[in-house]
């Protein structure tokens, strides 16, 4: 017998809702992946890389040409230079990057501040390595940060703050002032920062992504993670990266080499070529804003309260004027009775706080979004 290191962890809500969607033949807006194909040009580049023989181990840090392109992208967008030789690593998706950051830095009794609702890998990974999660609840409808509360919760044991902007599931963005306040607290208390920026290129209404890479004092103490899968519509490829100053990256790579050693070689070659054309990611905000606006237009007159997402490809729907059910019960009823699967958001909140909100993914074809809106608009108060 073994003693579980994560005794309270169950199957993820994403797996549960997707399974329920399949069982009840429901339209699945729960799990966050596109239901349209990645660019055939990119697919062809992967095929060519395989034909060219890049089918064996890649360098542990990742293909150098790809690391150079990531370095150029960050420098062009946010100004700082990350040395592709020593400060960038290619990972098996951003989740592996996040896991590796925490594994490399968090020890027993270290405290890690996270903002809830939070992506579901943060807390279990901290706990796996003996750390203590200190949650700070972002409050609807706008999910802003109370920085005084953050300051009050920092102790002598605090080692790291994890941020996620654009934010899943709320769709909020950290402002420039948010990042300056974070920078001040991190400097004052000598904290590490893990900045999860997987939706960095999906920003709406002419807002600007405030990357940790933009702020010099944050750069010096931050791990920044990104995702090719989120950006280029191929989440199943599990390709991401981490950027950090050399001192931090050395510790990251010590762990990385024993987690995966290296990641998919032909895909790295393909992305190295594909990233040379910046339009592939610079046009992404417009692409997804069209989908957000199309869906919200169709939802006009519904019984849901909606504040438009400011980033990511997720939209929160407030059902407080429809039902007094818990969000879990409401999401289950939507799946079984109305044949549409969504995500209840209390599972991401501190102590399971229920704000009567569900999350839908609008990274779908217009036909799927139209079908979803038709179903959701029929849902009336109990």
Q: Are residues 86 and 229 located together in one domain of the fold?
A: yes
Write the pLDDT tens digit of every residue in 253-303: 999 999 999 999 999 999 999 999 999 999 999 999 999 999 999 999 999
> Residues of the chain whose pLDDT is less than 70?
381-382
Q: Are residues 250 and 320 located together in one domain of the fold?
A: no
CATH number of the domain where residue 309 is located: 3.90.1150.10
Rounded to whole angstroms, the maximal C-alpha distance in the chain is 61
Write the pLDDT tens digit of every residue in 11-48: 888 889 999 999 999 999 998 889 999 999 999 999 99
pLDDT of residue 124: 96
pLDDT of residue 382: 58
Q: Last residue of a domain, which of 262, 280, 298?
A: 280
Determine the Cα–Cα distance for residues 360 and 291; give it in Å rounded to an integer: 12
- Count Cβ atoms below 10 Å from residue 56 Cβ, excluding itself: 7
User: Which residue segment(s) compose the domain that 181 sits in?
Assistant: 55-280
Residue 249 near residue 86 (C-beta atoms within 8 A): yes
3-state DSSP percent of the chain in helix, strand and coil, to 5? 45, 15, 40
Q: How many domains is the chain partitioned into structurally?
A: 2
What single DSSP character describes residue 12?
-
Strand boundaries in the chain, DSSP class E: 27-28, 88-91, 111-116, 132-137, 158-164, 192-196, 222-227, 240-243, 314-318, 340-341, 343-344, 357-361
pLDDT of residue 364: 97
């Amino acid at each position: 017998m073994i003693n579980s290191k994560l005794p309270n962890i169950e199957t993820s809500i994403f797996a549960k809702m997707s399974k329920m969607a399949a069982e009840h033949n429901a339209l699945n807006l729960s799990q966050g992946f596109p239901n349209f194909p990645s660019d055939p040009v990119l697919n062809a580049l992967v095929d060519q890389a395989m034909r060219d023989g890049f089918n064996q181990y890649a360098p542990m840090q990742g293909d150098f040409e790809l690391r150079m392109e990531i370095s150029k992208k960050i420098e062009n967008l946010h100004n700082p230079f990350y040395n592709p030789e020593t400060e960038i690593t290619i990972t098996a998706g951003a989740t592996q990057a996040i896991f590796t950051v925490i594994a490399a830095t968090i020890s027993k009794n270290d405290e890690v501040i996270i903002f809830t609702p939070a992506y579901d890998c943060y807390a279990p990974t901290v706990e796996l390595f003996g750390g203590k999660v200190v949650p700070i609840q972002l409050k609807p409808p706008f999910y802003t940060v109370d920085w005084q509360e953050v300051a009050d919760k920092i102790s002598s044991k605090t080692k790291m703050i994890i941020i996620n902007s654009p934010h899943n599931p709320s769709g909020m963005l950290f402002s420039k002032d948010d990042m300056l306040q974070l920078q001040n607290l991190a400097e004052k208390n000598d904290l590490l920062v893990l900045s999860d920026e997987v939706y960095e290129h999906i920003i709406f209404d002419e807002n600007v992504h405030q990357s940790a890479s933009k702020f010099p004092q944050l750069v010096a103490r931050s791990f920044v993670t990104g995702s090719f899968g989120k950006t280029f519509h191929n989440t199943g490829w599990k390709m991401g990266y981490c950027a950090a100053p050399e001192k931090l990256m050395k510790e990251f790579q010590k762990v990385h080499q024993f987690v995966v050693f290296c990641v998919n070689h032909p895909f790295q070659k393909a992305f190295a070529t594909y990233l040379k054309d910046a339009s592939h990611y610079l046009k992404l905000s417009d692409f997804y804003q069209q989908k957000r606006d199309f869906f919200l237009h169709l939802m006009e007159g519904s019984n849901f309260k909606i504040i438009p997402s400011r980033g990511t490809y997720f939209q929160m729907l407030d059902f407080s004027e429809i039902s007094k059910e818990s969000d879990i019960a409401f999401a289950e009823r939507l799946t079984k009775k109305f044949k549409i699967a969504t995500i209840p958001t209390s599972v991401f909140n501190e102590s399971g706080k229920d704000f009567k909100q569900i999350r839908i993914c609008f990274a779908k074809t217009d036909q799927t979004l139209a079908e979803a809106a038709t179903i959701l608009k029929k849902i009336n108060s109990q």
